[in-house]
Chains A and B, each alone.
Chain A
Amino acid sequence: MNHDDLELTMQDYLDDRMDPAERAQFEARMVDDPDLAAAVAELAEIGDTLRATEDDLPERFYADTRARFEAERAPRRIHDAFRWESVGLLAAALVVAAILLPVVWKQGLFLSSPPEATKARPTEALGDARVRQDPAVVDEIRVSDAVDAEREESPAAVPFAPSPPDDVVSDRDLAGRKDEKKAAPDREGALAKEKAHEPEPLEEQVESEYEERIASNVPTDAVEPGRRAETVPSPPSTAGADAPAKMSRTRNQAVAESDDKSDAARDNFADAESFGVGQSFGPRGAAIPAGVLPESAVIDVPGADAWKRWLTRVGGLGAERLSPRFPDERVVLIGPRPDPLRCDRIVALPGGNIGVPVSPSEAGDRGGCAVVVPAGGAEIEFLHHEGAR
C-alpha cells in the first residue's frame, strides 16, 4: 500500500466509510503498527480540536449586521414604494384622461387654433421698436438668435459638463459672471459671452484647476519628485465639496481656531482629532474601491485591532495595504456617500496640508477610502469633483 492509499485508508476509517470487515482488518493492522495508530489518533485529535473550539460572536456583531441590513434595504424600500406609487399615478391619470377625452372632443377644443400672438417669437415682439431705433441692436439680436437656434437644433453639440450643485458656486464661475457683465454688447462680445457660458470640457477644467493649485500653492519640496503625475488621475476640484468634505472643513476650521488656546478651542481640537481631522497624511494612501462604510464621514481608528476590524469590514480589500504603526500613525476612513466614492493617492497641499482627491466611482456599492496618517497638525482637504463619473 503506497503512501496516498494509506492516507485514504486512514481517512475512510476516521470518516466511518469502511464496511465492518475492512474496519476490523484496519484495527488489527493498527495494533501491529504503533506509528499508524499514532497517525490515526493525531488526525482524530485534530478533528476534535477543530470541532471543539468555541467562537462566540460579540453582541455588537448583531447590532452592526442589523444596521447594515437596514441601511442596504432602505433604498430598495424607497424604490419599491416609488414604483408602486408610479403605477398608481399612471392608472389614475389614464382614468382621468378616459373621462375627460370625450368632453374635450365634444367641445372641439382640439380644433381651435392658438392665438396668433403666441406664435410670435419673444425676441421679435420685444425687438420691433428697438430695431427701428438702432441698426446695431439688430446685429446683436441676430447673433443671439443664431446662437439660440444653434443650441436648439444641436443639443449634442454642447459638450457634456456636470452641473454643480445649486448651492455651490466656484470662484471661477463668479469671476466669469463678473466678466460677462463688463463685456461690450457688440457681435464679438455676444459670441464671447455665449462661449463663456459653454462649460469647459471636464478633463481640461479639472486639470487646469489642479495645475493652478500645484503651480500657485504647493511648495516644490512639498511633493515628492515624480509624484505629481501619479497623484493626478482623479479629477479634483474644490468647487463641488460634498457632505463629508463640508464636515471635514468645518472641523478643520475648528482646528485652526484652536490656536487661541481657549478651553472651547481645545475642546474643538480634541473633537476634531477624534475624527482624524487635523492630522497630516504620510506619504501613503490607499483606495478601497468599494464597500460599505460606517455611517460617519471621517473616522480615525486609533487602535491596531480596531483598524483591522474596520478595514476588513469596509471593503475586504485594501486592508493588507495599510500597516500603520500605533501610536505614531493612524488610519482615517473617508465615506460613506450615497453614491460610490473613490479616493486616489493623496497629494501634498500648501502649508503641509494634505489633499485627498475623491470622485464618484463606478463601483456597484458604496465606497470610500482609507489612508494612513502620522500624528500631526496638518489639515485634511478633500479635492472632490461632484460631477465626475
Chain B
Amino acid sequence: MREPSGQSGVQSIDGARAERETARLLQAVRRGDPEAFDRIAREHAPRLFRLAVRLCGNRDEAEDLVQDTLVRALPALTRFEGRARLSTYLVRSLTNQWKNRLRSKSRSRLVPWPERRADGPDGPSAPAEFPDDAPSAQDRMESSDRAAEVRDAVAKLEPDRRLALLLREVEDMSYEDIAAMTGVPVGTVRSRLARARRDLRALLGGRS
C-alpha cells in the first residue's frame, strides 16, 4: 500500500507549496503587483461568479460584484491563514458587498426620475420600465431552459433566504459554516433554508 501513501505525501508537498505560493502572491498584491492580483483573481473568480450570478440574478451585476470583491478584498487581506480560509474570506466579502448593494438600492431613490415617458413625438406616455433584480426578458429568451427558470425563481427569494440557500447548494457549506458567515444561529439557518426551499417550490409551480 505504498502507492496511496506516496501520493498523499506528494499531495501534501504540493499543498504546502501552493500555500506558500498563495501567501507570496497575496504579499505581492498588497504591494500593488497586478500580475499577482491577476493570478489570484483567475483562481477564485469562477467560484465567486457562480455564487454571484445566482445571488444577483443577472450576469452583468454579478461580474461587477465579483470585480468589486476582488479589487477591494484582496489588497485588504493582511493575514494569510491558508487557501481554504482565503476562499471563505472572499465568499464572505462577496456576500457582504451584495448585502451592501441591496441596502444601497433600497436607499437609492435620491435622484428624481420621471415616472412616465413619452413614446414619441405624438405617441402616448408609457410607464418607465426599470429593470429589477430578475433577469431581463431578453436574458430569459436567450436561456429559456430549466436552469434559467430556477435562477429566476431564486432571484425572487427574500435575500437572507436566498443567501442561505445558495451558500448551502452552490457553495456546499455546512449549516454551521453558513451560520458563522451570516452571523446567525444554526437554527435560523435551518429555518431560512427550509423557507427558501418552500418558496422556491411554490415559485416553480410545485406543491407549497
Contact = CB atoms under 8 A, between A and B. Distances in A.
Interface of A: 4, 7-8, 10-11, 15, 17, 35, 38-39, 42-43, 46-47, 49-53, 55-57, 61-62, 64-66, 68-70, 72-74, 76-77, 230, 283-284, 286-287, 289, 304-305, 308-309, 312-313, 316-321, 323, 345
B193 interface: yes
A46 B32 contact: no
B64 A316 contact: yes
A335 B39 CA distance: 29
Given A284-B114, A304-B138, A77 B32 contact: yes
Given A49-B150, A66-B41, A318 B71 contact: no
A35 B190 CA distance: 23
A347 to B, nearest CB: 14
Nearest to A8: B194
A50 B130 contact: no
Nearest to A61: B63
Interface in B49-75: 49-50, 53-54, 59-64, 66-68, 70-71, 75
A321 B46 CA distance: 30
A39 B207 contact: yes
27 contacts: A8-B194, A11-B190, A11-B194, A38-B207, A39-B206, A42-B201, A49-B146, A51-B169, A53-B147, A55-B50, A55-B62, A57-B49, A64-B67, A65-B70, A69-B34, A69-B37, A72-B71, A73-B75, A230-B112, A286-B111, A286-B113, A308-B60, A309-B60, A316-B61, A316-B64, A317-B105, A319-B131
Given A8-B190, A316-B104, A317-B105, A50 B34 contact: no
B190 A321 contact: no
A11 B114 contact: no
Contacts of A70: 32, 34
A309 B63 CA distance: 9
Interface of B: 32, 34, 37-38, 41-42, 45-46, 49-50, 53-54, 59-64, 66-68, 70-71, 75, 101, 104-105, 108, 110-114, 117, 128-132, 136, 138, 146-147, 150-151, 154, 165-166, 168-170, 172, 175, 190-191, 193-195, 197-198, 200-201, 204, 206-207
A68 B207 contact: no
A304 B105 CA distance: 21
A345 B129 CA distance: 20
Contact of B71 (A56, A68, A77): A68
Contacts of B132: 320
B113 A284 contact: yes
A42 to B, nearest CB: 5
A-B CB proximity, top 6 nearest: A73-B32, A53-B147, A7-B194, A309-B60, A320-B130, A312-B60
Contact of A57 (B63, B113, B117): B63
Nearest to A372: B117
Contacts of A57: 45-46, 49, 63, 66
A47 B111 CA distance: 40
A362 to B, nearest CB: 14
B168 A321 contact: no
Contact of B67 (A38, A39, A313): A313
The interface centre, meaning the residue of A15, A52, A287 with most chain B CB atoms within 10 A of its CB, is: A15
A243 to B, nearest CB: 24
Given A73-B32, A323-B129, 9 more contacts: A11-B193, A39-B206, A46-B150, A46-B200, A62-B42, A70-B34, A73-B75, A76-B32, A320-B108
A62 B54 CA distance: 20
B68 to A, nearest CB: 8
A66 B168 CA distance: 30
Nearest to B131: A320
B151 to A, nearest CB: 7
Contacts of A8: 190-191, 194
B85 to A, nearest CB: 21
A50 B153 CA distance: 11
Given A17-B175, A55-B53, A43 B75 contact: no
Contacts of B54: 50
